Structure 1
């Protein structure tokens, strides 16, 4: 055994835990303003009619981009909701427990009227302002957006039955988020969920087996006690089971009908809507999606018997619009995480942000976001216009077809966009303490919820067939950009030719949907975005090169200018 070398009297023992300095790494993204750092979003808000909201949106952008607020999203997903079907004494309770971060995000969302703005302040630009807020809130966390969206989207369906709307609307539109497990009469604000999907049906809701029978008399609900129904059956997916009210599809003798089902009966007893389990989803984990059974549950008919799909589709069209917003939000957060990393990380002698191939990739990802944002905010203006001016047929027809186009395309493009942003960050990007895995898992959700890609493409065809004027509205919109770029003009001609051949149209529905989406995005960017953006979009999406993997922009595009627009700090 060798003796140790003696230490000099003045020598210091090195800290054994410090084997190397930490340098050339990124830092936590935070304390940025999610509005003022995003030039494209600012322009869209002003262009589409919500200039009046800019100061409020800027304040909200500072809140949502703060480190503390972004951390709420992390906590809400780290600690998943938990279900208690019974209390310790054996009573049926069906209570879901959430982390306080989830409740704080919900409280903030309702306080800022993400669930209510166009309904409580129906002015020009209200949908645009709300969309901008939801886009920023969605960059923080996606799970709590689900009940926020459903509460927002229920209003048109509920208003098909004015007496029911009069009973519930004030509390649904309240700016107070009240998570207490109490009957609605004792609460200051209400949330609304939705139940459509059954095991055997999926998107085919006419295959549902849940049935409803009148307790006293047939007809739409009028009061707490009259014209009530008893519902028996199941739902394979019912999101946010702690909501106070649910719009549910069930069959009557007249066919599929829509019902409003409260979690508590008007007499203060628990309704027999029983949660069987929470779904173990790959994403959206902060939001408790559940499997439920209705064992003679109490409810009111909304709309007419046998018209359930037509009634609830009013809600579904708005939830699909919010899927567009949510996916666009995921794109933006992933993109700025990637840019933020590249501004700090050095490889092979220079920062990643200054390397040509990385610039190509980041610019291409930015173009995808710009196209998604432009289409989403244009649809927000269409919603504003059709509600404020019932005679404006163009906006109503455009919203009918372009919302389905946008839901299909934007949601479909987001998963690969999120993956590419994750790849930019590299090995650190796949770690669960990074936001990137959560963004990637969230990106998959919106492609499936509220109708998968195939369902959206078939809905586009349905709109074209049942309402041919939607096609005219679409081409009237894209024609506004004719003459601004040769590749765009050629793409419009090719698209028009697609509609001349109706043979095998359903087989070609995705191909047609792809073209409809990209041409509409190009039209909007050619009209409103800088030349650096619109030209690069046309060259990369409409040219002979076509759409390949991200990072394949042709030589000559101004990548630096494109990147700068989406992350200005």
Structure 2
């Protein structure tokens, strides 16, 4: 024991190691889709443990830097990223992480295929999955609302499998006045009268406090046209291109890169729009409605990335438990350690089932195969899914870091990053409280609560005592709230949302036999 050195955890093909993913896909995908998807996923699972993982390590070791001036004092605001980050972008294009959803070769199953790719790619992407989420969201918004000539200009790039022509997109809404509450947006939009390659209609002036994917080619943002009313109703959605023909920033000045708790490889900047040309998407005043299509996709991405993060953490813990000895035997042979892992694995499977269920609903909606009740479920469950998987990801990350003892607290093992990066899932695209209130809006505007009650009342899980007990408690809470006012519903919104997450994830775990 004098010269003992502990062997650390290692990664192998993440598709072949994932029984939950394989079981689910083989049960839900038609044979012809399996024939295409499964070999591709096996290939990507191997890359996730080899070259992608190596590039992610490089991207984390060499985070982006902001170079405001060239050697002669000219303002350039260059954001320089590592070769690893650039290679992860190329791989995302090659593997069709965004494009697969829009080929729609497999109908409603196209989204399941795509989200399975994302699920394997994300844990080895150094969070390049973030720009991909916004790219996908932008593609959907443009597909739905942009004029034909703008679609023809942007969509082939956003959906390209060729790294040389692939574009990513940013989503710039956060200002000093707030993040989720965009009503105080102070960016102004005045008429733009010069010629523009993409048909700019307005010039934007304002400060964006937090812009992820600031090295992207395009961005969608909210701004207030001249004369528009205050609050959310006065906001419009705009498309902008970051650089002009000479590759100069389009009247954009970058103040600084954000020094964040985690996601260190992801360039996130604070910047000013100083007359940036932009094109309005949709009618004036429709900004919040139009950005909702982006948020639906980015929130589902957040959930898929969260379960990918959980799976990576648990894979490392499982591997280590077969290598580390304590008190005379391997960790995996200690009943308490085994039980702790079992509970975490069950939480993961519940989140997995719910995430892919909602992804399938999204796929159905996009090809026109969704029923009225399923559309309401998609609306109500998207915020619940995001908040629920985020909380579970943080808990699993914390437990896994703890399982490594002191090694889990030492930066050069890479393990603390699980916890630091895991925290972003509950913050990006809406906090737990914000999303809980969004669920209440779905209850009010879409009458989603009766649809959920009908679903839970008739699901197979009603035969399981543990589910029936939770269902009874949920009904009791609803009974109390129905006698109260709006403040009572808001006060208990978080409890309600987490309860919906518990019930839905457990019912789907049983339905999918995971």
Task: Report the TM-score range of the alignment, normalised by the length of the smaller protein.
Answer: over 0.9
Q: Does 1:37 align with 2:36?
A: no
Q: Which residue of 2 aligns with 1:458?
A: 437
Q: Does structure 2 retain, via aligned residues, the 8 Å contact 1:265–1:298?
A: no
Normalised to the residue count of structure 1, the TM-score between the two structures is: 0.83
Counterpart-to-counterpart distance in 2, 1:399 and 1:448? 21
Q: Which residue of 2 aligns with 1:379?
A: 358
Q: Which residue of 2 aligns with 1:88?
A: 71
Q: Which residue of 2 aligns with 1:112?
A: 95
Q: Does 1:20 align with 2:5?
A: no
Secondary structure of the residue that 1:344 maps to in structure 2? Answer: coil
Counterpart-to-counterpart distance in 2, 1:197 and 1:92? 24
Counterpart-to-counterpart distance in 1, 2:160 and 2:467? 46
Q: Which residue of 2 aligns with 1:207?
A: 184
Q: Does structure 1 retain, via aligned residues, the 8 Å contact 2:237–2:281?
A: yes
Q: Which residue of 2 aligns with 1:536?
A: none
Q: Which residue of 2 aligns with 1:404?
A: 383
Q: Does structure 2 retain, via aligned residues, the 8 Å contact 1:48–1:378?
A: no
How far the C-alpha of 1:71 sits from its partner, in A, is: 2.5
Greater Cα offset, 385-394 or 362-371: 385-394
Q: Which of the numbers 424, 443, 452 marks the counterpart of 1:474? A: 452
How far the C-alpha of 1:89 sits from its partner, in A, is: 2.1
Q: Which residue of 1 aligns with 2:84?
A: 101
Q: Which residue of 2 aligns with 1:241?
A: 214
> How many positions carry a matched residue from both structures?
495
Write the deviation string for residues 24-59 of structure 1: whole angstroms up to 9, x where unpaired: x233412x1111211111122233435341111111
How far the C-alpha of 1:473 sits from its partner, in A, is: 3.3
Q: Which residue of 2 aligns with 1:529?
A: 513
Q: Does structure 2 retain, via aligned residues, the 8 Å contact 1:278–1:290?
A: yes
Secondary structure of the residue that 1:506 maps to in structure 2? Answer: helix
Counterpart-to-counterpart distance in 2, 1:360 and 1:430? 23
Structure 1 pair 268/290, CA: closer, same or farther in 2 (3 Å)?
closer
How far the C-alpha of 1:498 sits from its partner, in A, is: 2.8
Q: Does 1:190 align with 2:167?
A: yes
Write the deviation string for residues 491-521 of structure 1: whole angstroms up to 9, x where unpaired: 2233234334232010001111111001111
Greater Cα offset, 47-56 or 342-351: 47-56
Structure 1 pair 437/267, CA: closer, same or farther in 2 (3 Å)?
closer
Over the aligned positions, Cα root-mean-square deviation in angstroms equals: 2.0
How far the C-alpha of 1:122 sits from its partner, in A, is: 4.6
How far the C-alpha of 1:202 sits from its partner, in A, is: 2.2
How far the C-alpha of 1:265 sits from its partner, in A, is: 3.4
If each structure's helix is expressed as a fraction of its own residues, which one has the higher value? 2
Q: Which residue of 2 aligns with 1:306?
A: 285
Unpaired segments ≥5 residues, structure 2: 229-233
Q: Does structure 1 retain, via aligned residues, the 8 Å contact 2:361–2:370?
A: no
Q: Which residue of 2 aligns with 1:127?
A: 111
Q: Which of the numbers 424, 432, 449 marks the counterpart of 1:445? A: 424
Unpaired segments ≥5 residues, structure 1: 1-18, 179-187, 531-569
How far the C-alpha of 1:342 sits from its partner, in A, is: 0.8
How far the C-alpha of 1:268 sits from its partner, in A, is: 6.3
Secondary structure of the residue that 1:90 maps to in structure 2? Answer: coil
Q: Does 1:176 align with 2:162?
A: yes
How far the C-alpha of 1:481 sits from its partner, in A, is: 1.8
Normalised to the residue count of structure 2, the TM-score between the two structures is: 0.92
Secondary structure of the residue that 1:277 maps to in structure 2? Answer: strand
Secondary structure of the residue that 2:411 maps to in structure 1? Answer: coil
Q: Which residue of 2 aligns with 1:518?
A: 502
Q: Which residue of 1 aligns with 2:325?
A: 346
Counterpart-to-counterpart distance in 2, 1:266 and 1:231? 19
How far the C-alpha of 1:313 sits from its partner, in A, is: 1.3
Structure 1 pair 268/132, CA: closer, same or farther in 2 (3 Å)?
closer
Counterpart-to-counterpart distance in 1, 2:152 and 2:310? 39
Counterpart-to-counterpart distance in 2, 1:28 and 1:284? 22
Q: Which residue of 1 aligns with 2:34?
A: 51
Secondary structure of the residue that 2:124 maps to in structure 1? Answer: coil
Counterpart-to-counterpart distance in 2, 1:123 and 1:62? 24
Q: Does structure 1 retain, via aligned residues, the 8 Å contact 2:127–2:265?
A: yes
Q: Which of the numbers 147, 151, 158 marks the counterpart of 1:165? A: 151
Counterpart-to-counterpart distance in 2, 1:281 and 1:390? 41
Secondary structure of the residue that 1:34 maps to in structure 2? Answer: coil
How far the C-alpha of 1:390 sits from its partner, in A, is: 4.8
Q: Does structure 2 retain, via aligned residues, the 8 Å contact 1:257–1:305?
A: yes
Greater Cα offset, 395-404 or 359-368: 395-404
Counterpart-to-counterpart distance in 2, 1:227 and 1:97? 28
Q: Which residue of 1 aligns with 2:231?
A: none
Secondary structure of the residue that 2:459 maps to in structure 1? Answer: helix
Secondary structure of the residue that 2:404 maps to in structure 1? Answer: helix
Q: Which of the numbers 98, 118, 129 marks the counterpart of 1:145? A: 129
**Higher Rg of the two aligned structures:** 1
Secondary structure of the residue that 1:57 maps to in structure 2? Answer: helix
How far the C-alpha of 1:430 sits from its partner, in A, is: 1.4
Counterpart-to-counterpart distance in 1, 2:98 and 2:493? 33
Greater Cα offset, 197-206 or 134-143: 134-143
Counterpart-to-counterpart distance in 1, 2:64 and 2:248? 24
